[in-house]
Structure 1
Amino acid sequence: MPQLALDIGFCRELDSLQKPVKKGVFRTWEKFRALTLPQLYADRGLRLESLETALDPKIRTVRIGDHWRGVVLAPEAGETFVLLKVLPHDEAIAWGAKQKASINPATRNVEIRDIGRLEELTPAVEGLAAGAPATALFAEFSDKELRSLGIDDDTLRRARTLTSMEQLDAFAPVLPPDQSEVLMYLATGWTVKEVWKDIVAHRAVAEDVPLEPGDFESAIRRTSSRIALVTAPEELSAILDQPFSAWRVFLHPTQHRIAYRSGYSGPAQISGGPGTGKTVVALHRVKYLLGQLAKDERILLTTYTKPLENALRSGLRQLVEDRAAVDRVDICTVDSFAHRVITRSGTRPLKPVSGEVEESYWQRVVDELQLSWTPQFLAQEYRHVILAQDIENETAYRNASRRGRGSALHPNRKPEVWRAVQRFTELLADKGLCTYPQRAALAARLLRESGPPYRHVVVDEAQDLHPAQWRTLRAAVAEQPDDLFIAGDPHQRIYDSKVSLKAVGISVAGRSARLRKNYRSTQEILGWATALLIGRPVGELAGSGHEDTLADCRSALRGTVPVTAAARDAEQELDQLVKQLRGWLSAGVAAEEIGVTTRFNRAVETVLARLRREDIPARSLRSEGTGAKGAVAVGTMHAFKGLEFRCVAVHGARQGAVPFPKAVTPPEVDRVQHDTDLMAERCLLFVAATRAREQLYVSWTGTPSEFLREAGLA
């Protein structure tokens, strides 16, 4: 029976298709299921036609609706077709005529290349290479080595002409994806052995499997990382209705290997830049672990903020159809979990205070005890030394290391600090208050007494958790195989909680992996945002002493260069924002696929008020969460953490907002903390920019942020 499979390239562009076109795709898919192969080719409604100017006779077009056609791979033998793209009639014919299908010589997966565009690019690049043969990008690799990684003769010839990463970037979108990926990693410093192990081997077919050179039917079925064999109408409807949820169907081999590994001997950790699929892998890991649970065992899936909690809950429900299985997963923030532990123990729960309220209590301590330190110094000593090391008495504090603190403290003065801490905790307790790390520390102690309630704990956005929160999670699950699965990116650390897993007793040695391929943002957006962090080292989460890097994080997606806009005042900046949003909406972007983010809550309210006056549907991310439809999402940069939108406007990226002076410790108080705070503010702008998938707009009034100026982005 004929079948119409879906290529990942088609799925990635579903956002841009209107509902009538999607319905046409559904009708076409149903016809493929209902008709025999001869009927399929004879059907006048489908018009499964070859192209007169096609470079590959296997590329055909099929009718989707009035004025719309789909480009399909139609193998000469077999009944499985692949929908590659859906475009207006003339565009579909023009695009399809330039495509060529082949089978990768190493992986035996189907590949599509834009041979027309390649022929256009090659002469110019060859001319540049002829003038500087010594700078060939892949000179250190032999033809035999490149062929062993699946580089075919056509790509090999073009690769030998490349002399720079910029030229490779130009070629990458029109090369076969698998081969493009191999070249990208080799160009960024990977060895042949590393590329084979991490990229090629997971797609390669076992040597004892008989292979026919032109067997596209088998090749299509092997290409599970890019081609979805949709078998049920409900499955197709879900993909069409939730286009960016294609991650439920497609997993890169590296992601699949991590998520569905049969067992880790202890805690496991994945890291990677924004959009590399860490959360996707974490959700798939939960799906795998659900299949291994014994009776009465449960899983904790946790993250840092409420919007992220909501996103995880929605994602798991999409991924796991069995509602009874989903009910065995507790999804909540780490803070909510700590509160739950305390409440269930019968201990009086305390209410956490904001940073400003906490500082006011420290000021009271300073005044009462007539101390020479600032409230900020005492708050950080309590947070980064005492609570971080789970210190419970003065003797332990006297012997505690202050490594990582950039302010001097003579050992003889530690008792004075300890008295200040005691008074601070007394004042809070009298009012039924605590700090968030305090509450986590109490929850950890209670869990150690009562025993772990979970079989598995999966942690997303791990980079922002405080050591006390890590001790809570460590105590929530017994030390055993597959106990903790951790996902995070130190480049997205935007809160004052720098920690290494090793320091809190969680060893991931031999069980850590890094994701490098960005699936969310275009290369233009990723490159723009990464410029904010270039030259600023970031330590790995594992605490190995090595640096994490974004140098090898790349995207195969291409788009427009981010737009920046200066305004003379706040009113003009709002005018420009409204114009930008109207432009996106007019171009067919759905309102719920647009996000506007700014540094402060008061700015969020100002933007919301203006958009509503302009009759642009808008919702507050803070009060209405992530599930609302039909409205532009507006929220702070912190609230946008972990979310994504087709188009993002970063509003108010001015000096005085990013970095925000009050969020940065003065260097005279603590130089190390000053640098850490400044880096967190820089990461905040990086996180805001990388929420965008296709288009990014950044604006400011007056002087742009120093981060933009330093990176040459303003």
Structure 2
Amino acid sequence: MPRLAFDIGFCAQLGKLQGTVRQGVFDAWEKFERLTLDQLFKDPGLKLETLQQARDRHIRTIRIDKGTRGVVLAPSSGDTFVLLRVMPHDKAIDWAVKQKASINTVTRSVELRDIAMLDELTPAYERIAADTTPDQRLFGKISDGDMAALGVDATTLRQARVLTSVEQLEVFAPYFPPDQREVLEYLAADFTVDQIWREVVAVNLAAAENDTDPVDTTDYATAINRTSTRIAVISDGDELRDILSKPFDAWRVFLHPSQHKVAYRASYSGPAQVSGGPGTGKTVVAMHRVRHLLKFLRDGERILLTTYTNALVAALRSGLAALVDDEELRERVDITTVDALASRVVSTSRRPLRGGEEEPRWQQAAQATGFTGTTQFLAQEYKHVVLAQNLRTQEEYEAADRPGRGRALPASARPLVWRTIQTFVDQLAADGLRTYLGTCSEAADLLGEKGPRYRHIVVDEAQDLHPVQWRLLRAASADRPDDLFIAGDPHQRIYDSKVSLKALGIKVAGRSTKMRKNYRSTHEILSWSTGLLVGRPFEQLEDDSRNETLLGYRSSLHGNGPQLHAAASAAGELDALVDRVRAWMENGVAPDEIGVTTRFNKDVEKAIAKLVAAGIPARKLRADSAEGTDAVRVGTMHSFKGLEFRCVAVTGVNEDALPFSKAVTPVEVDRLQHEADLMSERCLLFVACTRARDGLFVSWAGEPSRFVLEATRAE
């Protein structure tokens, strides 16, 4: 029976399609569901047409609505057609005649390349390469045999052999078949053939791991079924309507083999970790892991899905609802922040300190004990030494090492510091107050006495959790297989809570996976954003003696790079913001697919007022809801953590805001903390910029942030 499947390239453009076009796609899918092959070819409304001058006879077009056509792979074998793209009539024809489909003899999957553009580019670059020896070219040290073993076919090999630089590879990359392009990008980043086989090729072979028969390069029916990472076969009309109505959630259809391998591994012998840069799918993998674990829960067992902020909790709740249809199963998952878990465990009436209340309390404690140092030093000593190391007595504190602290503290000074910290804690308790981290410490103690609450714990945005929060999570689940599943990225650490899981007894060695492929942002946006961080050391989550790196971090998406705008005044910057948002909307971007972020709350309110006054619906990002009304969402950079939008405007990126002086410890107070705070500010901008998928707008009034200047120079 005929059916219409969907290529990931079509899903990527879904958000840009008008409602009538989406309905036309659904109508076309329905025809494939109810008509025979003969009827499809004769249907006057579908107009399944062959193309004059097509480079591949398997590429045809169908009518979607008036003036719009879909490009389909219509193989001569089998009855599954694949919708590749939807475009205005003339553009669809122009694109379709340039494409060529093939079946990779190594990965056994369907591939698509712009053969016309590759044939046009190759002769010019062959002439350039003629002035070099083969060894001087980009892949001169890689043998033809190794290339073939990695799935690089003869056509791509010819084109790859003429390249002399990474910059030339970037010219060709958008037109290569995706899997072969990925192999070449790994090779260009100096990964070994063995590494690429394990990380790229082997994971793509999962669907065919038991198939040892020679590959039939004409059998598209079999190959389409093996290409589940890029081709989705949808048999339910309600599911398709849901995808078409929520185009930004189309990721649910696809899971890269490397992601699937991690998320659906039958069992881990202990804690497991997945790390990777923004957009590599860590959160998606975490939610799929929850889905997998739900299948094996016994009566009375529960799962905790936890993260750092309430906004992320809302996003996780929405994502899991889209992924797990069974409401009864979802009810067995508690989705909450670690701080909220602690409050639930302790069940105390003491109120947590609000913003601005902590410093006066430290001042009171210092006055009571005669401590003459800064309150900033005291607060950091309490957080990074006492709580981080779980020190309970003065003797333990006096004997403790203070790793990460940049100011020496002689033994003679420690008793007074301890008394001051203890006075702070006692006064809070007497006044019915508490700190969030102090509550986590109490909760960890209680669970240590009463026993764990959860069979499994899945942690998202793990890099910002404090050691005391990790002790709570460790106590909340028994130490056994599949106890903790951890997703995080040190490059997105925007708070100053460094942690070594190894030092806390959470050992992920042998159960740790790094993801390097970005599925969210365009290559151009990603390249500029990574310029903010490249070359700076980041401690790995599992072991703070080892550094994380962005080596090999890349995107397969191509599009526009960031637009940088220098305004003469704050008012002019707001005017530019309105112009940019309006232009995005005029190009078909829905308001709730647009995010506007800035460093301070006061600027959030100004941006909302300006947008609304200009007739653009806008509202403040709410922590209790990931699903927006049809309005531009505006929030601080901290609140945007973990979220994503089709287009993002990052405003107020001036030297006074990033780095923000009040967020950076003075060098004279603590040199190492000063450096860590600067890195957190840099990461904050990196996180804000990498929320964008298709469009990024970065603006400032006055002097630009030094971070912007450095990123621009690094391109």
Say if 2:311 and 2:623, in contact at 8 Å, map to a contact too: no
Match of residue 406 from structure 1 = 406
Q: Which residue of 2 aligns with 1:196?
A: 197
Amino acid at match of 1:181: E
Q: CA deviation at 1:557?
A: 0.5
**Other-structure match for 1:136:** 137
The equivalent of 2:528 in structure 1 is 528
Look up the match of 1:267.
Answer: 271
Shift of the 560–595 alpha-carbon distance from structure 1 to 2, 3 Å rule, reads same
One-letter code aligned to 2:306: T
Q: Structure 1 residues 623, 508: closer, same or farther in 2, change over 3 A?
A: closer
Hey, what does 2:309 align to over in structure 1? 305
> What is the aligned counterpart of 2:223 among 219, 224, 231?
219
Give how far 1:355 is off: 5.1
Cα distance in 2 for partners of 1:563, 1:713 equals: 15
What is the 5 A alignment of 1:25-424?
25-133=25-133, 134-204=135-205, 205=208, 206-209=210-213, 211-343=215-347, 348-354=348-354, 356-424=356-424
Structure 1 residue 105, shift from structure 2 partner: 1.2
Listed one character per residue, the Cα deviations across residues 315-362 of structure 1 (whole Å, up to 9, x for unaligned) are 00000111111111000011111111111xxxx343222453211211
Q: Distance in 2 between matches of 1:709 and 1:370?
A: 45
Deviations 1:403-427 (A, max 9, x none): 1110010012211111001111122
Partner secondary structure for residue 130 of structure 2: helix
**How many angstroms apart in 2 are the aligned matches of 1:407 and 1:313?**
42
Of 93-102 and 430-439, more deviation after overlay is shown by: 430-439
- Mapped to 2, the partners of 1:61 and 1:174 lie a distance apart of 20
Contact 1:342 1:349 in 2 (8 A): no
> What is the rounded CA distance, in whole Å, between the counterparts of 2:320 and 2:568 in structure 1?
45
AA matched with 1:88? P
Kept after mapping to 2: 8 A contact 1:533/1:682: yes
Indicate the larger mover: 123-132 or 445-454. Answer: 123-132
Equivalent position SS for 1:131:
coil
Cα offsets for 1:417-457 (capped at 9, x unmatched): 11001111122112222222111111110111110010000
Question: Take 1:606 and 1:200, find their aligned partners in 2: how far apart are those partners?
Answer: 50
Change (3 A) 1:622 1:230: closer
Residue 14 of structure 2 corresponds to residue 14 of structure 1:
yes
Structure 1 counterpart of 2:444: 444
**Contact 1:565–1:699 (8 Å) recurs in 2:** yes
Counterpart of 1:403 in 2: which secondary structure? coil
Deviates more, 1:36-45 or 1:197-206: 197-206
| Kept after mapping to 2: 8 A contact 1:149/1:200 | yes
Q: Determine the structure 1 residue equivalent to 2:680.
A: 680
Shift of 1:368: 2.6
1:668-711 CA-to-partner distances (Å, cap 9, x unmatched) read 00000000000000000000000100010011111111111233
1:545 equivalent to 2:549? Answer no
User: Offset of 1:613 from its aligned partner?
Assistant: 1.4
Superposed, 1:450-529 pairs within 5 Å as 450-529=450-529
- Secondary structure of the equivalent of 1:643? coil
SS at match of 1:195: helix
Q: Mapping of 1:552-631 within 5 angstroms?
A: 552-622=552-622, 625-631=625-631
**CA distance, structure 1, for counterparts of residue 245 and residue 93 of structure 2:** 26
- Identify which range, 575-584 or 117-126, moves more after superposition: 117-126
Q: Secondary structure at the match of 1:685?
A: helix
Partner amino acid, structure 1, of 2:292: Y
Return closer, same or farther for 1:694/1:568 CA change in 2, 3 Å cut-off. Answer: same
**CA positional deviation for 1:110:** 0.2
Amino acid paired to 2:255: L
User: Partner amino acid for 1:478?
Assistant: A
Contact 2:286 2:458 in 1 (8 A): yes
C-alpha contact 1:645 1:691 (8 A) present in aligned 2: yes
Q: Secondary structure at the match of 1:202?
A: helix
Q: Deviations over 1:191-239 (max 9, x none)?
A: 1111111211122233434642210010001101110011110111121
Q: Which runs of 5+ in 1 are unaligned?
A: none
Worse-superposed segment, 268-277 or 529-538: 529-538
Aligned length: 710
Identify the range of structure 1 (543-552 vs 145-154) with the bigger mean alpha-carbon deviation: 543-552
Deviation of 1:534 (Å): 1.5
Residue type of the partner of 1:411? A
State the alpha-carbon separation in 2 of the partners of residues 210 and 187 from structure 1: 30
* Partner SS, residue 672 of structure 1: helix
* CA distance, structure 2, for counterparts of residue 211 and residue 153 of structure 1: 16
C-alpha distance in 2, partners of 1:661/1:116? 54
Which residues of structure 2 form unaligned runs of 5+? none
CA contact (8 A) 2:499 2:544 kept: no
C-alpha distance in 1 between matches for 2:662 and 2:319: 36
Question: 3-state DSSP class of the match of 2:234?
Answer: coil
Q: 1:209 to 1:244 in 2, by over 3 A?
A: farther
Deviation of 1:163 after TM superposition, in Å, equals: 1.2
Shift of residue 89, structure 1, vs aligned partner: 0.5
Distance 1:165 1:537 in 2: 24
Structure 2: how far apart are the matches of 1:624 and 1:293? 28
Shifted more, 184-193 versus 300-309: the winner is: 184-193
Counterparts of 1:3 and 1:326, CA distance in 2: 32
Judge conservation of contact 2:308–2:461 (CA < 8 Å) in 1: yes
> For residues 555 and 62 of structure 2, what CA distance do their matches in structure 1 show?
30
Q: Stretches of 4+ moved more than 4 A in 1?
A: none
CA distance in 2, matches of 1:124, 1:280: 42
Change (3 A) 1:354 1:136: farther
DSSP-derived class of the 1:231 partner: coil
Once residues 322 and 447 of structure 1 are traced to their aligned partners in structure 2, the CA distance between those partners, rounded to angstroms, is 30
Q: Which moved more, 1:459-468 or 1:167-176?
A: 167-176
More displaced, 561-570 or 205-214? 205-214
> Which SS does the other structure have where 1:309 is aligned?
helix
**Are positions 1:632 and 2:636 aligned together?**
no
What secondary structure, in the 3-state scheme, does the structure 2 residue paired with 1:50 have?
A: coil
Letter matched to residue 103 of structure 1: I
CA distance in 2, matches of 1:85, 1:630: 26
> Bigger shift: 310-319 or 425-434?
425-434
Conservation of the 8 A alpha-carbon contact between 1:490 and 1:539: yes
Letter of the 1:490 counterpart:
P
1:93-150 per-residue CA deviation (whole Å, 9 max, x = no partner) reads 0000000000011011000001111122212322222223343111121100110111
Paired amino acid for 1:372: T
Query: Is the contact made by 1:601 and 1:635 (CA closer than 8 Å) also made in structure 2?
Result: yes
> Which stretch has the larger CA shift, 37-46 or 684-693?
37-46
C-alpha separation in 2, matches of 1:371 and 1:423: 11
The equivalent of 2:666 in structure 1 is 666
Identity %: 58
Read off the aligned partner of 2:146 and give its amino acid letter. E
Deviations 1:267-300 (A, max 9, x none): 0000000000000000000000001111111000
When structure 1 is superposed on structure 2, of 275-284 and 558-567 the one drifting more is 558-567
How far apart are 1:641 and its partner, in Å? Answer: 0.3
Q: What is the identity, as a one-letter code, of the residue corresponding to 1:265?
A: S
Q: CA deviation at 1:535?
A: 1.6
Q: How far apart, in 2, do the equivalents of 1:683 and 1:151 lie? A: 37
Contact map agreement 1:105 1:151 (CA 8 A) in 2: no
Cα separation, 2, equivalents of 1:420 and 1:26: 68
